[in-house]
Structure 1
């Protein structure tokens, strides 16, 4: 009986402003919803990463993970909707990647900043469930390596779009709100090293870096979606130096279908140049620093409606913003 009551409280089939109050009977809709909740025991998981979603969406199928319940109760904060996609500034001039590559090479002449192991990334990922509005799960992750090749990973619930406001998280398996800046995990890993990408240091010449990214993607023929996936994975392990960023822009300049779109302001308020790849399943927007070519962000948006999840074409599936 206690399990049923817990499920009922989270589902909130009888809201405070509904036609039934207190211990009154459930209507047919509420009874069906409670039966569905009791019949299903779906684990709470974070939505799959963009690579899996992109590949499936390209085949015409949108695969999402279910959140078992979304903060029920009449006093709960409303679910946070997906962030709006970034928009290119009106009348801004697109900068070709070949031109940006020249700027990046000039900026890298003194070799500063240098390549650094670790990452600092702010991410927003979408959680979806049948019959409920989509929710955005924001977090910040910092990975620092130490002299003995051990590393520490810190994950914090925070959303710079709404400083000081509670943040929705699914850490620990149950969706809930936590205070801005709440530490979700702090983990120290023992010394480790690998000479295979992406753990191995990336090279700083275009040809060698392209081969490195192909090995990261485990493919001999690196297409543009695989290239962008490999870049995301690389930035999960390394903060690129000026020379590596310049080499990466040269590699990106040869990518088929990655077109310049114009100037944007990223989700951390930084100016950037946007480069867009539109495939069958959706759109990816890569944001690069207009002076150095460093990767600032990567946004993935849905290419088609998924009404059963409250998702429309153009909604943001995932966004990452990298910092040093």
Structure 2
């Protein structure tokens, strides 16, 4: 309901507390996926997950059969909810080099404010595809808040900020804007490995943390961007952590500044593009140039995939992180 969405957005963040040590249970993402696999009562249904470029186009194509059957009469029918258009760079804007962003972020982080906080607040638009129906975009807002006793809550809401009040498409059909898709409370969790362990604010240590977080090579720019997304889906970075991450971006190869953009939440940022090669995707990283904070990450197709009804330039996924 819209009332619940208003309450959700107005909720005070709960800072992380208590030490993190020893082996703990699954993190909240893994536990949620395991719970869906074990308890989904609908046989044969494939759970939708966000695509990763490293999986390639075929692995990214997932079936949202229920919603498509309800909303789309056939392959020639337009989707009930239009996919978001790719972000466009403001004409004649001046690109800001990543090295300059790293310097500005380091200056902004000198007083240590804002502080690092466990948990996240993220709005996502993710494309669902199938072999025989047009693709559809599923918008969701997710808020994860941790308590001082190391327990936490997760609330997932169906909402599209670009179309307030409009019905929202989910993998179960159309629902009211602000409809709560899930609300869960998790018991206390501790751990000395990512993502439960605290991210460091030293660039070298943060690089090692990110590599451990996704268990792959973050020396590649694609790996660094994958790890950044995973990090921000678990933590809200403070000024010092954002500065460290900006330094890693400045050292990454292939991230080119393209100019100023307005993101899907109306915020102004600087865009940096990484052109994928073999994975069919192009990524645009949006940063606050004054603090280095990551505002969003957009993935678009670089080539047509007629078997899935997508074209070069279509948005595969967009994620916007908030404090």
- State the TM bucket, normalised to the shorter chain: 0.7 to 0.9
Q: Measure how far apart 1:78 and its partner are.
A: 5.0
**Mapping of 1:219-298 within 5 angstroms?**
219=216, 222-280=219-277, 281-298=280-297
Q: Measure how far apart 1:249 and its partner are.
A: 0.2
| Conserved? CA contact 1:79–1:133, under 8 Å | no
In the superposition, relative to structure 1, how do residues 155 and 279 fare at CA in structure 2: closer, same or farther (>3 Å)?
same
- 1:108 is matched with 109
Between 131-140 and 84-93, report the one with greater CA deviation.
131-140
Q: Which has the higher contact order (CA 8 A, sep 6+)?
A: 2
- 2:162 is matched with 161
- 1:91 is matched with 92
Unaligned runs of at least 5 residues, structure 2: 1-42
SS in 2 for 1:50: coil
In the superposition, relative to structure 1, how do residues 217 and 73 fare at CA in structure 2: closer, same or farther (>3 Å)?
closer
**Mapping of 1:15-54 within 5 angstroms?**
43-46=45-48, 48-51=49-52, 54=53
TM-score (norm 2): 0.81
- 2:144 is matched with 143
Once residues 242 and 308 of structure 1 are traced to their aligned partners in structure 2, the CA distance between those partners, rounded to angstroms, is 44
Once residues 221 and 235 of structure 2 are traced to their aligned partners in structure 1, the CA distance between those partners, rounded to angstroms, is 21
- 1:304 is matched with 303
Q: Measure how far apart 1:143 and its partner are.
A: 0.3
Instruction: Kindly report the root-mean-square deviation, in angstroms, between the aligned alpha carbons of the 2 structures.
Output: 1.9
Is 1:212–2:213 an aligned residue pair? no
Unaligned runs of at least 5 residues, structure 1: 1-40
In the superposition, relative to structure 1, how do residues 107 and 221 fare at CA in structure 2: closer, same or farther (>3 Å)?
closer
| Conserved? CA contact 2:95–2:257, under 8 Å | yes
* Structure with the greater alpha carbon radius of gyration: 1
- 1:5 is matched with none
| Conserved? CA contact 1:79–1:134, under 8 Å | no
Give the number of aligned pairs. 274
Q: Measure how far apart 1:219 and its partner are.
A: 3.2
SS in 1 for 2:122: strand
| Conserved? CA contact 1:137–1:168, under 8 Å | yes
Q: Measure how far apart 1:128 and its partner are.
A: 1.2
| Conserved? CA contact 2:86–2:315, under 8 Å | yes
TM-score (norm 1): 0.80
| CA deviation map 1:237-267 (0-9, x unaligned) | 1100000000100011111111111100000
- 1:134 is matched with 135
In the superposition, relative to structure 1, how do residues 220 and 77 fare at CA in structure 2: closer, same or farther (>3 Å)?
closer
In the superposition, relative to structure 1, how do residues 256 and 178 fare at CA in structure 2: closer, same or farther (>3 Å)?
same
| Conserved? CA contact 1:62–1:306, under 8 Å | no
- 1:24 is matched with none
SS in 1 for 2:157: strand
